[in-house]
Structure 1
Amino acid sequence: MIQDSVKRLLHRLNSEDNHTRQFRPSIYMAPNVLRDLSPSSFDPLLVSIGPLHRENENVKAFERQKASYLVNLISPIKSPREEILKSCMQRAYGLMNTIKACYIWTNTFNDAEIAEMMVVDACFVLGFLIEMHVSYRGKSYTGKSLKLRTIMHDLVLLENQIPLFFLHEMFQCTILKLKSDISFIQLIKPVIVCNNLFKAKLKFDKVSFGTNDHFLSLLHQCYMPPDNIKKDDMTKIIHSAIDLDRAGVNFKPSQDPTWVMGMEVKQNRVPCFFWSWNRPTLIMPVLSIDDTTEFLFRNLIAYEQSFQTQSYVTSYAISIDMLVNTQDDVAKLVESKVLVNYMGSNEEAANMINNICKNVSSDDSYYEEEWDKLNKYCNGYWPKHIAKMRSTYFSSPWSIIALVAGIILFLLQALQTIFTINS
């Protein structure tokens, strides 16, 4: 009996191991510990893609509009509609097991429902992107219609994805038969560009997609560090932007960086009376903070925390959280042009930055070498004492006024003493 049980367990473990190696679910609900902090960051506002938000009331109204996108997509193709739809459905059924393996299922759907859902959703996405390609060719998507921006928002949510391999299959069944002058990557590129966190342009030369990839993972790939960037254990803690500024650290935006999230400390020797010191400059990517920043960070971080991938976005977010403690830190970074704040106030931006890393942990850091340089500088004799003096005497207008008044009072007392002695 024991031997039979062992055989059954081994068979079960081997089957599960083979399945896990071949298929790892990459589309799932965000961990509750992160989702509960900001549910709205993970819920689609207008359109549901895939099975996880199918029943949400706020997206049901848009379901009928998907059919119009499907009609507009296949109408220009010379083949009969029935043939096109048959081809799409055949591919969906042929890839059913692979499609199922991409999701953590929260509701039960039969194969027919899944196939129809995948075809309609994929054709909607393709129809929407073709509409964008025609309407905004050669133009910027910034500031376009509310509907466009909302759909773009929904297409990069962790829980609202469609596998790119299947989207590519539908691309071959539909668009490729009509337009041979546009590639799949070229067509889907605007979704990534519109959801970029930084001012620097994203590079697509090394981007590729496999069975587990979707729009969010593609955006995540665009932030991947180059091979020469070392990953270390996260051990260093750095001072806030204001404290670094008081110690003499400058901030400067990076120009055409090799890594869009890269940060580098450069030291320049500055003469000061009879000695000199290495005053560092922290070169940073220009981060845009607006009403989309929080949900983008939260979804990318949730993807890293749940999927077995590198956590470089989490590492960057933790670093920015260390630099920003108050609205004064935000003001300093805005003044230094390494941060662009489109939110209502610096305080609102500071609160957002401080909240995105709550309940988030990471052992990986891509900035340890740079933080070591900053800490060594700040712990030096002169930077430490200059920072303390600026914090004590120059932190506010009142402290400056009190310092000036104290100096004047001291001079008056000194003059009075001199006149008394002379008399």
Structure 2
Amino acid sequence: MTQDSVVQRLLVRVKKEESHINQFSPSIYMAPRTLRDMSPSSFNPQVVSIGPLHREDENVQAFEGRKTNYLIDLMRRAKSPQEEILKLCVEKVCTSMEKIKACYVWTKAYGDIEIADMMIMDACFILEFLFKYSIDEEEEGELQHIIIFYDLILLENQIPFFILDEIFQCTVLEFSPNHSLLELIYPVLGNANIFTEDINKDNISLNNTHHILSLLHQCYKPPDSIKKGDLRSTIPSVVNLDRAGVNFKPNKDPTWLMGMEVELYMFPCFFGSWSKPTLRIPVLEIYDFTEIVLRNLIAYEQSGQTHSYVTSYAIAMDMLVDTQEDVAKLVDLGVLVNKMGSNDEAANMINSICKGTILVDFFYEEQWVKLSKYCDAYWPKNMANMKRTYFSSPWNIIALVAGVILFVVTVVQTIFTIKST
């Protein structure tokens, strides 16, 4: 092999890739290894495989055959002949084949016929499953419903949104023209909400949507007015902030679902005035699937195709929570709902969720600067130290009280001794 032949071969490969790079970039891929290894089950579908990446997983094979039933049920709803509808679906998929291929980082080679069959079958399953759910026809058990909902938001378990939309137009709109694709998907998004406040569907823009997980990610998007910066300030954990005099309250009706706000109240004192901050936090619900939602949103952000506001939130929570005592404090104050087995389990989840991530922008820098300045001030710092030293346990309190009593007794004895002499 000559040098010229090597050069020509590389040029052919580069030109082939350039033809795709300028138009599309992969949006469906395996989660980064550093994130996946920490919790493989958070990225693997439990019931149904969507797209090519988990198609051969053993645990989803039982459901593969049932997809055909969903496709048949969807076709039966249409007024046009089934053959005509399927022909139109195939035409749409085949026309977009190169665009579909460019959406994936492939783990196995599939032929165009296999890909077309996969896209149509999976899109029809999603649409029929969600349509049945919307009109209360779905007969699956409630638990399986919930698991399928979570399978539909996994990063590695997606089909391109434009294909789902085109199949929707060929099928559902044919027999139900008043339905919209977003309306069908809303129950999936609502089910994956990890906060007590409703998710914000107004942020959704179909022009920027890669897949269903991308839609969910847009629901957590902050307004453009939210400032972001570098992570330069660190703050103590919840327990230590509480000792320094920081209050914690739920963030009701926030401008951003994951928004945290610091409110400073000025109190007059002997030395002039003293500010006492309140940190308002969105009420997070920690349950069995919270970790799945957060890990998949964070893995999607780590691709660099979108802003890392969920990663930013996870890092902020990791700073606030060090131990189960921090979780217990947040639960007592009503700013966290823990439906897991223990506070220690919840703390471990929060502490591990953002390990291995890269943070470009931190969306809480303004709030963290305020808290850091407050905690570094003389009185809050010494108040925290005193509470940590003397009030951290019942034995410390008893020792302090005993010491005070001993001191008082000693002073009284000294006074009486001086008077009697």
TM-score (norm: length of structure 2): 0.94
Is the 8 Å Cα contact of residues 163 and 211 (structure 1) preserved in structure 2? no
Instruction: Name the residue aligned to 1:24.
Output: 25
Q: Secondary structure at the match of 1:257?
A: coil
Aligned counterparts of 2:294 and 2:75: Cα–Cα separation in 1: 36
Aligned counterparts of 2:249 and 2:208: Cα–Cα separation in 1: 40
CA RMSD of aligned residues (A): 2.0
Q: Secondary structure at the match of 2:114?
A: helix
Aligned counterparts of 1:60 and 1:5: Cα–Cα separation in 2: 43
Is the 8 Å Cα contact of residues 102 and 212 (structure 1) preserved in structure 2? no
Instruction: Name the residue aligned to 1:111.
Output: 112
1:359 and 2:360 matched: no
Aligned counterparts of 1:377 and 1:36: Cα–Cα separation in 2: 39
1:224 and 2:221 matched: yes
Instruction: Name the residue aligned to 1:84.
Output: 85
Displacement of 1:203 after TM fit? 1.6
Work out which of the residue numbers 346, 365, 381 in structure 1 matches 2:378. Answer: 381
Aligned counterparts of 1:108 and 1:10: Cα–Cα separation in 2: 23
Q: Secondary structure at the match of 2:203?
A: coil
Is the 8 Å Cα contact of residues 165 and 209 (structure 1) preserved in structure 2? no
Displacement of 1:49 after TM fit? 0.2
Is the 8 Å Cα contact of residues 265 and 282 (structure 1) preserved in structure 2? yes
Aligned counterparts of 2:418 and 2:316: Cα–Cα separation in 1: 59
Displacement of 1:210 after TM fit? 3.9
Which 5+ residue runs of structure 1 have no aligned equivalent?
138-143
Work out which of the residue numbers 285, 290, 295 in structure 2 matches 1:288. Answer: 285
Q: Secondary structure at the match of 2:65?
A: helix
Query: Which residue type is aligned with residue 380 of structure 1?
Result: A
Aligned counterparts of 2:273 and 2:350: Cα–Cα separation in 1: 36
Q: Secondary structure at the match of 1:24?
A: coil
Alignment of 1:131-210 (within 5 A): 131-135=132-136, 145-210=142-207
Instruction: Name the residue aligned to 1:342.
Output: 339
Instruction: Name the residue aligned to 1:404.
Output: 401
Instruction: Name the residue aligned to 2:40.
Output: 39
Q: 1:355 to 1:393 in 2, by over 3 A?
A: same
Q: Secondary structure at the match of 1:279?
A: strand
Displacement of 1:199 after TM fit? 1.4
Is the 8 Å Cα contact of residues 209 and 215 (structure 2) preserved in structure 1? no
Query: Which residue type is aligned with residue 46 of structure 2?
Result: L
Aligned counterparts of 1:413 and 1:260: Cα–Cα separation in 2: 58
Is the 8 Å Cα contact of residues 203 and 221 (structure 2) preserved in structure 1? no
Work out which of the residue numbers 233, 237, 240 in structure 2 matches 1:240. Answer: 237
Paired residues, number = 417
Displacement of 1:211 after TM fit? 7.4
Q: CA offsets, 1:34-82, max 9 Å, x none?
A: 1111110110000000000010000000011111111221112222221
Displacement of 1:4 after TM fit? 9.1
Aligned counterparts of 1:307 and 1:169: Cα–Cα separation in 2: 27
Is the 8 Å Cα contact of residues 164 and 211 (structure 1) preserved in structure 2? no
Query: Which residue type is aligned with residue 316 of structure 1?
Result: Y
Displacement of 1:193 after TM fit? 1.0
Q: Secondary structure at the match of 2:204?
A: coil
Is the 8 Å Cα contact of residues 297 and 310 (structure 2) preserved in structure 1? yes
Q: 1:40 to 1:2 in 2, by over 3 A?
A: closer
Displacement of 1:308 after TM fit? 2.2
1:68 and 2:65 matched: no
Alignment of 1:294-333 (within 5 A): 294-333=291-330
Is the 8 Å Cα contact of residues 264 and 276 (structure 2) preserved in structure 1? yes
Alignment of 1:384-395 (within 5 A): 384-395=381-392
Q: CA offsets, 1:249-307, max 9 Å, x none?
A: 11111121111111111100123456431101111111111111111111111111124
Aligned counterparts of 1:250 and 1:170: Cα–Cα separation in 2: 51
TM-score (norm: length of structure 1): 0.94
Which 5+ residue runs of structure 2 have no aligned equivalent?
none
Work out which of the residue numbers 400, 408, 411 in structure 2 matches 1:414. Answer: 411
Aligned counterparts of 2:3 and 2:69: Cα–Cα separation in 1: 60
Query: Which residue type is aligned with residue 53 of structure 1?
Result: H
Query: Which residue type is aligned with residue 349 of structure 2?
Result: M
Is the 8 Å Cα contact of residues 92 and 118 (structure 1) preserved in structure 2? yes
Q: Percent identity?
A: 59
Instruction: Name the residue aligned to 2:366.
Output: 369
1:51 and 2:48 matched: no
Q: Secondary structure at the match of 2:89?
A: helix
Q: 1:211 to 1:319 in 2, by over 3 A?
A: closer
Instruction: Name the residue aligned to 1:141.
Output: none
Q: Secondary structure at the match of 2:206?
A: coil
Q: CA offsets, 1:285-337, max 9 Å, x none?
A: 11111111111111111111124221111111001000000011111111221
Displacement of 1:8 after TM fit? 7.2
Is the 8 Å Cα contact of residues 26 and 307 (structure 1) preserved in structure 2? no
Displacement of 1:5 after TM fit? 7.6
Q: Secondary structure at the match of 2:273?
A: strand
Q: CA offsets, 1:237-258, max 9 Å, x none?
A: 1110111111111111112111
Query: Which residue type is aligned with residue 206 of structure 1?
Result: N
Query: Which residue type is aligned with residue 68 of structure 2?
Result: A
Query: Which residue type is aligned with residue 101 of structure 2?
Result: K
Aligned counterparts of 1:70 and 1:13: Cα–Cα separation in 2: 40
Q: 1:70 to 1:357 in 2, by over 3 A?
A: same
Displacement of 1:235 after TM fit? 1.6
Is the 8 Å Cα contact of residues 194 and 285 (structure 2) preserved in structure 1? yes
Task: Select between 403-412 and 43-52 the one with higher mean Cα deviation.
Answer: 403-412
Aligned counterparts of 1:101 and 1:69: Cα–Cα separation in 2: 27
